[in-house]
């Protein structure tokens, strides 16, 4: 900012100097023009005086001629009178005529002398003005000739100042990028030490230009909910009913690109290769961009009632697609030092039932491995929660494979205290192409099931939770020491509240219900039971309650390891900026604020000896 201000000052000074030179030139031209007009006037006046003097001289000569003529005729008459009689030399008439002639002659001589003096003076002034005019003209010509050179000098100075400013700006930009990277690294280290859940907020803009935005992001950490845009004068609003502020670890701007979102979690994702467990989940109401954030764009030509096989294709710009690409790229670059092996499994929770999404696909039949149960089931420390008696009935479901085998899925806890799904198929993947193939076949199989059952695939996707787990086993070739890490991508179902969504036409909704959920207990009642249970779990964890109802739903039972300890958790909260979604948006932001208070604990590195 200082460089920009200095450069602006330099440009202003140069602009003022150029303007001043032009103004001086203009004033000189005006002064020269005035002198020229004055000189013309003086010359005209001198000419008039010259003409007057000539006329006076001419009149004087004619007067003398007339007088001489009169004298001649007078002498002739005298001679005649002499002949006739005596000459009367001293007559009164002759004396008066001579006196008049002498007075006129003296007057003309005085006027002639005065005009001559004026003419001499005017000639002197004209000569002086002509010299001044020539001097001003030379000065003006010299200044006009020097203006291009001065302009070149000013342009050179401006160019040099611009280069210096650009270099300094680039240097400052690099320093700012380094500071941001250091800040992000330090923040991640602090978050790792504290064990808090990272919460990012990603608002989705409105497609229509006629609607008002209820969400704004004044900074990278603050999200504002403009509740005043929804309220009506009938609600007797107080001055305190202004926008509500929510603080998160990162708030993205409207229209943020997928790569920008991924760059904020890149370091967290890459820690999987070092033996850490990572969980990234997307939470939000319908049409808020959860699936787009986690998976990217997906297109299909599924038509209900059509017998043709659905064709599904993905465009790899989602978080899990970008993460898989980078993980396999790093594994390829370090293959001479580390041996990395990857396995992928995908499970769906719909209506509190588990489904292996890879079951029945060609790649699962070809190289899939069914997980067994290692050891007997036991209830971890923390005793009996609600729902622990009917663990199998709550989560179990049978998956039919192509050969008719039935794989029953059950959530179990092994001796190490880890939550596992017995009967789930894990598929070894050796490259990103394998990951892409697994997803293509999985989505095609899901679309086929929806087509067979006459269900809208979008409706089914909005009401189901999809958990994709990529496990990485890395072995140091030189030492034989290995690490085991896993990353879970959780695309949660839509967090829609039970009552009908309030629109701008419905003005009877109070601010309390908008900001605290529906009902007097300050609880959002969601259409999906798992989302309600997840909200209860987060509230219990944020309030440090001893009994946390993990087993009240299949989803929270599956995510218990991630929500309890030894995992780096990041939640991407997707919210809508449409005014008709204000209730869901308010509940989502409240949920995110509570989730940010949850302390999981420091994640540990899982090291094993594979020598």
- State yes or no: 382 annotated in a binding site: no
CB 66 within 8 A of CB 104: no
To 10 degrees, what angle do helices 2-84 and 92-194 make? Answer: 180
For 419, the 3-state DSSP assignment is: strand
Percent helix / strand / coil, the chain, rounded to 5: 50, 20, 30
Question: Does the annotation list 291 as a binding residue?
Answer: yes
DSSP, collapsed to helix, strand or coil, labels residue 282 as strand
End-to-end CA distance of the chain, in Å? Answer: 58
Q: Strands 297-300 and 277-284, how do they pair? A: unpaired
Q: Are 281 and 572 in contact (CB under 8 A)?
A: yes
Query: Phi first, then psi: what are they for 475, rounded to 5°?
Result: -125, 130
Interior angle at CA 17, CA 12 and CA 18, nearest 5: 100
DSSP labels, 72-116: HHHHHHHHHHHHHS---TT-HHHHHHHHHHHHHHHHHHHHHHHHH
Q: How far is CA 577 from the centre of its chain?
A: 17
Dig out the tokens for 281 from the structure.
């989940």
Q: How far apart are CA 323 and CA 265, in angstroms?
A: 10
Instruction: Find tokens 């998160």 and name the residue.
Output: 248
Give CA 141 to chain center in angstroms. 52
C-alpha 590, offset from chain centre: 26
Which helix (H) or strand (E) segment is 198 a member of?
strand 198-204
Residue 527 three-state SS = coil
Q: How far apart are CA 217 and CA 203, in angstroms?
A: 9
Residue pair 531/492 in contact (Cβ under 8 Å)? The answer is yes
- Length of the chain equals 611
List C-alpha distances in Å: 573 to 89, 170, 204: 140, 34, 11
518 and 525 in contact (C-beta within 8 Å)? yes
Q: How many angstroms separate the CA atoms of 339 and 587, rounded? A: 45
Host H or E run for residue 329: helix 319-333
Say whether 587 sits in a helix, a strand or coil: helix
Instruction: Take residue 354 and report the two structure tokens written for it.
Output: 């588990």
Residues 6+ apart with CB under 8 A from 151: 18
Residue 290 assigned as binding residue: yes
Q: How far apart are CA 421 and CA 471, in angstroms?
A: 14
Q: Among 411, 352, 407, which residue's Cα sits nearest to residue 377?
A: 411
Phi and psi at 209, nearest 5°, equal -85, -10
Annotated binding-site residue? 286: yes
User: Cα(294)–Cα(315) distance, rounded to whole angstroms?
Assistant: 12
Binding-site entries for ATP: 284-291
Binding-site entries: 284-291
């Amino acid at each position: 900012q200082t460089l920009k201000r200095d450069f602006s000052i330099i440009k202003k000074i140069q602009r003022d100097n150029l303007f001043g030179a032009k103004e001086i030139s203009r004033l000189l031209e005006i002064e020269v023009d005035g002198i020229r007009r004055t000189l013309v006037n003086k010359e005209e006046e001198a000419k008039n005086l010259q003409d007057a003097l000539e006329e006076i001289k001419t009149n004087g000569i004619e007067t003398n001629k007339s007088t001489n003529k009169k004298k001649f005729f007078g002498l002739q008459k005298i001679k005649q009178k002499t002949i006739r009689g005596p000459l009367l030399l001293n007559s009164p008439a002759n004396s008066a005529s001579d006196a008049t002639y002498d007075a006129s002659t003296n007057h003309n001589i005085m006027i002639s002398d005065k005009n001559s003096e004026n003419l001499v003076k005017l000639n002197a002034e004209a000569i002086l003005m002509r010299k001044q005019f020539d001097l001003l003209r030379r000065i003006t010509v010299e200044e006009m000739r020097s203006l291009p050179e001065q302009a070149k000098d000013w342009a050179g100075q401006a160019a040099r100042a611009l280069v210096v400013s650009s270099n300094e700006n680039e240097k400052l930009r690099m320093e700012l990028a380094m500071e941001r990277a250091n800040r992000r690294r330090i923040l991640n280290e602090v978050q790792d030490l504290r064990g808090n859940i990272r919460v990012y907020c990603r608002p989705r803009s409105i497609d229509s230009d006629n609607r008002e935005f209820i969400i704004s992001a004044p900074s990278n950490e603050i999200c504002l909910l403009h509740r005043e845009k929804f309220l009506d004068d009938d609600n007797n609003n107080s001055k305190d009913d202004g926008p509500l502020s929510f603080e998160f670890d990162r708030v993205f701007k409207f229209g943020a690109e997928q790569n920008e979102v991924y760059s904020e979690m890149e370091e967290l994702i890459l820690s999987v290769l070092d033996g850490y467990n990572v969980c990234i989940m997307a939470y939000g109401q319908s049409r808020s961009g959860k699936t787009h954030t986690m998976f990217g764009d997906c297109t299909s030509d599924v038509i209900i009632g059509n017998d043709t096989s659905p064709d599904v294709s993905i465009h790899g710009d989602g978080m899990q697609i970008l993460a898989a690409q980078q993980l396999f790229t790093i594994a390829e670059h370090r293959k001479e030092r580390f041996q990395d092996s990857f396995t992928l499994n995908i499970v769906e929770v719909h209506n509190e039932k588990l489904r292996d999404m890879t079951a029945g696909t060609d790649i699962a039949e070809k190289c899939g491995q069914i997980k067994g149960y290692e050891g007997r089931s036991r209830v971890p420390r923390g005793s009996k929660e609600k729902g622990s008696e009917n663990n199998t009935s709550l989560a179990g479901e049978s998956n039919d494979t192509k050969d008719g085998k039935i794989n029953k899925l059950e959530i179990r806890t092994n001796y190490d205290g880890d939550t596992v799904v017995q009967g789930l198929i894990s598929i070894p993947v050796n490259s990103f192409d394998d990951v892409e193939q697994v997803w293509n076949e999985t989505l095609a199989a899901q679309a086929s099931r929806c087509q067979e059952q006459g269900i809208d695939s979008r409706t089914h996707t909005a009401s189901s939770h999809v958990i994709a787990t990529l496990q990485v086993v890395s072995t140091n070739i030189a030492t034989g020491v290995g690490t085991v890490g896993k990353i879970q991508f959780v695309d949660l179902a839509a967090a829609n509240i039970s009552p009908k969504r309030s629109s701008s036409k419905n003005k009877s909704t109070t601010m309390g219900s908008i900001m605290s959920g529906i009902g007097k207990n300050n609880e959002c009642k969601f259409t999906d039971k798992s989302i309600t249970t997840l909200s209860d779990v987060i509230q219990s964890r944020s309030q440090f309650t001893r009994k946390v109802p993990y087993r009240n739903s299949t989803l929270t039972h599956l995510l218990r390891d991630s929500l309890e300890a030894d995992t780096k958790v990041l939640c991407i909260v997707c919210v809508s900026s449409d005014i008709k979604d204000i209730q869901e948006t308010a509940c989502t932001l409240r949920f995110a604020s509570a989730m940010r208070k949850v302390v999981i604990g420091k994640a540990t590195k899982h090291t094993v000896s594979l020598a």
